[in-house]
Structure formats: C-alpha cells, structure tokens
Amino acid sequence: MSSVPQTEVWQRGPVPGFEPLLMPVVHALLQAREDLERLASEVPAEHVWVRPGGAASIGFHVRHTGGALDRLFTYARGETLSDAQKAALREEGGAGDPPVSLVTVLRSVNASIDRALQQLASTSKDSLLDERKLGRAGLPTNVLGLLFHAAEHCTRHVGQAITTARIVKSM
C-alpha cells in the first residue's frame, strides 16, 4: 500500500520557509520527488534503460531531471557550468556497464532537488528579476525565468519517464 498522499503537493498549501512567489517552483519539485519515488517502486530493473521505438529511456528522463535542474539553478545563481556538470550532461543517456539502477539514479536526483530547495529557501523576492545569462550563447533571462523553467522542465521529464514506463510495461 502506497504512503503517498492522495492530493498533489500544490493542493496541500504553502510550504513553510519559502518566498510565496516561489511556491509554484517548490511545489513542482516536491511533486516531482513524490512521482519519481512512486515510479522507482514500480519499474523493474530490466525496463530502466529500454528505449521503446528509439525514444529516450526511463533512466535518461530521470537522470536528466536532476541534471537539468542542477544546471538551471547554477545559471540562476549567476554561475557558469563546471567541467563536472558538462561531463554529467554528456553521460545522461548512458546506462553504464553494468547498468546503473533506477534507485541509484533517483538518489542523485533527490540530492539535486534538495540542493535546489536549499537555494530556493535563500532566494529573496528582490532578486527574482535580476538578469542572468543562459548557456554558452549567454541568452538573456532572469532568476525567476530560470527557476520557473527548471520546475516545468523537471515535471516534463518526470511525466515522460512515467509514460515511457507504461509503454515499456505493455511491450
């Protein structure tokens, strides 16, 4: 029997310790964590790195959730990506030899979510419109745009992992 609450995180009200303007980001990250925990308990190891019809694997989507979150929050701090972050990006789709378990990938994603929540807790509303640059091209954005995109990107890939799990299960 699952201990996951029946309501979605955003329906449970504000989370103490966070700027109210950032609550949608907080809610999205907490929801992603819950959805991934549930997914990890349901996906057999042999399904994690399957690429149905050439689509990305469950493992990729889960790993990318944490990696993209980490990278976007780095830009939100006004920093550039480290060599380790760039190397992790290149490895996101690889299963490894032997293949990395979903539990191991999820542990890393949860660490990324924890760091993001810590950053959100220390983000003031006065900084939300501060200009930031995105990627090598230095695309113009701001702190709020990066945080919002990180949340929606995270939820997008969690949804794709859930859908891919259903497809692989039916094969």
CB of 133 closer than 8 Å to CB of 140: yes
Residue 4 pLDDT: 53
CB of 61 closer than 8 Å to CB of 157: yes
E strand segments, 62-151: 131-134, 139-142
Tens-digit pLDDT profile for residues 56-85:
999 999 999 999 999 999 999 999 999 999
Residue 95 pLDDT: 82
Domain residue limits, the chain = 19-170
Distance CA(133)–CA(112), nearest Å, equals: 21
Crossing angle of helices 58-76 and 143-170, in 10° steps, is 180
Other C-beta atoms closer than 10 Å to the C-beta of 46 total 9
Token representation of residue 165: 């799990």
Out of 3.40.50.300, 3.40.190.100, 1.20.120.450, 3.40.50.720, the CATH code matching 19-170 is 1.20.120.450
Secondary structure of residue 32 in the 3-state scheme: helix
Residue 85 pLDDT: 92
Residue 92 pLDDT: 85
Q: In tens digits, what is the pLDDT along the chain, a chain of 171 residues?
A: 455 558 999 999 999 999 999 999 999 999 999 999 999 999 999 999 999 999 999 999 999 999 999 999 999 999 999 999 999 998 888 888 788 999 999 999 999 999 999 999 999 999 999 999 999 999 999 999 999 999 999 999 999 999 999 999 998
Distance CA(72)–CA(65), nearest Å, equals: 11
- Report the predicted TM-score, pTM, of the whole model to 2 decimal places: 0.91
